[in-house]
Chain A
Amino acid sequence: DSGVTQTPKHLITATGQRVTLRCSPRSGDLSVYWYQQSLDQGLQFLIQYYNGEERAKGNILERFSAQQFPDLHSELNLSSLELGDSALYFCASSATGEQFFGPGTRLTVL
C-alpha cells in the first residue's frame, strides 16, 4: 500500500459527460501528479500541483482540469468525454523526489 488513495476505482460513463476523479496523497506530501495510462500511449504525465498551486503541465487536454485543495487532496475533472479518454488515471504524490502512485481509477467511456 503506497498510502495514496484514489476514488472511484471504476467509472463508466457516456460520451459528452463530465466526471471527477479524486486523489488523497500520502500524509505530508505536498506534491500531487496526475498521469493517464492507455494501451497506445503508455503512462503520460498530465499535470502537477504543489501545495495548492499548479506547478507543471504535461499532455493535458483543454477539456481536462485539476485542482488541489487546502487539505492537499486533488481532483481531476474530465469534461466532454470522448471514447478515446477511456484509460487508467493515476495520481502520485511526493515529498521530495520519489513518487508514490495510487491504485488508479479506470475510466470507461461508452
Chain B
Amino acid sequence: GESVGLHLPTLSVQEGDNSIINCAYSNSASDYFIWYKQESGKGPQFIIDIRSNMDKRQGQRVTVLLNKTVKHLSLQIAATQPGDSAVYFCALGGSQGNLIFGKGTKLSVKP
C-alpha cells in the first residue's frame, strides 16, 4: 500500500543556516507531493507542492526536490528563521484524492 516515512523525527539548526528535511515514500504511482508546516495548536499549513513530472520546484525561501528513482522527497528552507520552528510533514496524494501523511519532523531553530 501507500506509505510515507520521514528520516528524522527532529532537526535542530542555527538561525540563518539552511535546513533540509527528508521524506521517503513507497508508492511509485504517486504523482502529487506536498509539504505542510504545522505550528503548535494549529492545523497543517500548505508550504509547497510538486508533481511527478518535475524534479524541483522553488517557492519563497523553500525548495522541494523530488527523486522518483529512489522515491525520495526533500524540503529545503533557506536562511532558517525562528518563525520556521514547527513540525513539517510530507504528504502524497492518495488514490482517493486524500492525502497520506508522513510522521513529521520537528524543526527547532536556535537563535
Contacts and interface: CB of A to CB of B under 8 A. Distances in A.
Interface residues on A, range: 20 to 34
A48 B43 CA distance: 17
Contact of A98 (B46, B101, B102): B46
A100 B44 CA distance: 8
Interface stretch (B10-18, B20-28, B92-100): B92-100
A2 B102 contact: no
Contact of B100 (A45, A55, A103): A45
Contacts of B45: 2, 101
A99 B103 contact: no
Contacts of A90: 43-44
B98 A42 contact: no
B31 to A, nearest CB: 12
Given A42-B101, A42-B104, A48-B98, A99 B43 contact: no
Interface of B: 32, 34, 36, 41-46, 49, 89, 91, 94, 96-104
